[in-house]
Amino acid sequence: MKTYLIGSIPGDGIGPEVGREGLKILSAVAELEGFEYELVEYPYSGEYYLQTKELVPDSVIDEWRTLDAVLLGAIGHPDVEPGLVERSVILGLRFGLDMYINLRPIKLYSEHLCPLKDKRPEDVDFVVVRENTEGLYCQIGGHLKKGTPDEVALINGVYTWKGCERAARYAFEQARKRAAARDEGGRAPQVTLVDKDNAIRPHDIWDRAFAQVAVDFPEVQTDHAYVDACCMWMVKNPEWFDVIVTTNMFGDIITDLGAMIQGGMGIAASGNIHPGKTSMFEPIHGSAPKHAGKNVACPLGMISAVAMMLDFLGEGKAAARIEGAVADLLTTRAIPSADTRSGISTSDMGDMVLRQIGAQG
């Protein structure tokens, strides 16, 4: 039997607290479903940077390539220059390991968690495939005459044919996979391309790559939305979406909106994926310094990230067991909300999920 090698980066703020609950569930589900794993913990965080001045060295990026997957809590410290450690750890993983897909499921488990009027779980159930290694995140740009009245700041959006093609292909494959998992008579598979090619002309590379890939998936319907309109539809008619594929920057923005319509940042999870290679799984929330150390953060995003990781590793039954437990606890309102107002501590919520998956809490 294979032993999965899993990296763990607890990180900053609430990261270690929710991370602990995620690992608790991982350990329990491994025993229940009969798989084995080994954990390797990494200290990289804002806190660690303040103590050591160390960011992620290249040798560690190389070491990460030998892992099956990485679990990340959250990165970001108020006393460190904004973005410095996030770029080193999160973008270090995404870019360094070519995790070209950021998969973000937007799934509402229970109507009462949704801030939209009259939307039910069947209305909010789609995934965003965010391109994860290009766009405005490539750091191709810089400053001229910085700090003077003549300052110029430039940043280039990078869109390669290969990058657009593989993101589109992954999105169509997701649509196919989701349709196969639906009951007979369920909705037709659909992929919506979200860009801004009316104003940003080079975005038309996305349209052309998308159209080319679509030919290989004749049963999948296609749609297109500008990103501003997409935000509107996500609020007005989220039921229209099945799979969205979009650029790195737009994906960053619309998935925070997506998290809100599925019940908040406390429940949203994501996978940074290179199919067949090391991939990284994280809740989409940040380190939330104001909630750190109080045992109040909601661990469901982290726990759902563990489920996504297991699904990626081929442990579908274990993943479904966790997802089912989270869904049950939310629909029965045993967990009334996925945020600090639930009245349930981080560790108690982890224990509730443990019991719900059938482990001895």
Binding positions for ligand IPM, rule: CB under 6 A: 86, 90, 252, 284
Nearer to ligand IPM, 99 or 168 (CB): 99
Q: Report in angstroms how near the CB of residue 197 gets to ligand IPM at its nearest.
A: 22
- Judged by CB under 5 A, the stretch of 16-24, 152-160, 203-211, 245-253 that binds Mg ion is 245-253
Q: Report in angstroms how near the CB of residue 144 gets to ligand IPM at its nearest.
A: 25
Please name the residue ranges forming H helices in the chain: 15-33, 46-52, 58-64, 84-86, 92-96, 161-181, 204-214, 227-236, 248-261, 300-313, 316-331, 346-356
Q: How far apart, in whole angstroms, are the C-alpha atoms of residue 250 and residue 232? A: 14
Nearer to ligand IPM, 208 or 290 (CB): 290
Q: Report in angstroms how near the CB of residue 16 gets to ligand IPM at its nearest.
A: 17
> From the list 125, 252, 311, 339, which residue makes contact with Mg ion (rule: CB under 5 A)?
252
Q: Report in angstroms how near the CB of residue 252 gets to ligand IPM at its nearest.
A: 4
Neighbours of 249 (CB within 10 A): 17
Which of Mg ion, ligand IPM, none does residue 90 bind to, with CB < 5 to 8 Å depending on kind?
ligand IPM
- Asked whether the beta carbons of 152 and 144 are under 8 A apart, the reply is yes
Neighbours of 136 (CB within 10 A): 16
Nearer to ligand IPM, 259 or 322 (CB): 259
Residue nearest to ligand IPM (CB): 86
Nearer to Mg ion, 139 or 332 (CB): 139
Q: Report in angstroms how near the CB of residue 90 gets to ligand IPM at its nearest.
A: 5
Q: How far apart, in whole angstroms, are the C-alpha atoms of residue 190 and residue 222? A: 6
Nearer to ligand IPM, 66 or 139 (CB): 139
Q: Report in angstroms how near the CB of residue 282 gets to Mg ion at its nearest.
A: 10
Residue 48: what are its φ and ψ, rounded to 5°?
Answer: -65, -35
Nearer to ligand IPM, 90 or 108 (CB): 90
- Asked whether the beta carbons of 275 and 282 are under 8 A apart, the reply is no
Q: Report in angstroms how near the CB of residue 230 gets to ligand IPM at its nearest.
A: 16
Q: Report in angstroms how near the CB of residue 47 gets to Mg ion at its nearest.
A: 21
Q: How many residues bind Mg ion (CB under 5 A)?
A: 1
Q: How far apart, in whole angstroms, are the C-alpha atoms of residue 119 and residue 115? A: 9
Which of ligand IPM, Mg ion, none does residue 86 bind to, with CB < 5 to 8 Å depending on kind?
ligand IPM
Residue nearest to Mg ion (CB): 252
Nearer to ligand IPM, 168 or 284 (CB): 284
Mask: binding to Mg ion, 169-188, rule CB under 5 A, as x and -?
--------------------
Tell me the β-bridge partners of 250: none
- Asked whether the beta carbons of 178 and 243 are under 8 A apart, the reply is yes
Q: Whose CA is closest to 192, among 135, 254, 252, 137?
A: 254
Residues 65-78: b if buried by 16+ CB within 10 A, e if exposed: eebbbbbbbbbbbe
The amino acid sitting at 223 is D
Which of Mg ion, ligand IPM, none does residue 74 bind to, with CB < 5 to 8 Å depending on kind?
none
Nearer to ligand IPM, 24 or 94 (CB): 94
Q: How far apart, in whole angstroms, are the C-alpha atoms of residue 232 and residue 297? A: 29
Contacts of 321-324 with C-beta under 8 Å, sequence gap 24+, read 321/29, 321/32, 321/33, 321/357, 321/358, 322/25, 322/29, 322/353, 322/357, 324/357
Which of ligand IPM, Mg ion, none does residue 338 bind to, with CB < 5 to 8 Å depending on kind?
none
Name the residues that contact Mg ion, by CB under 5 A. 252
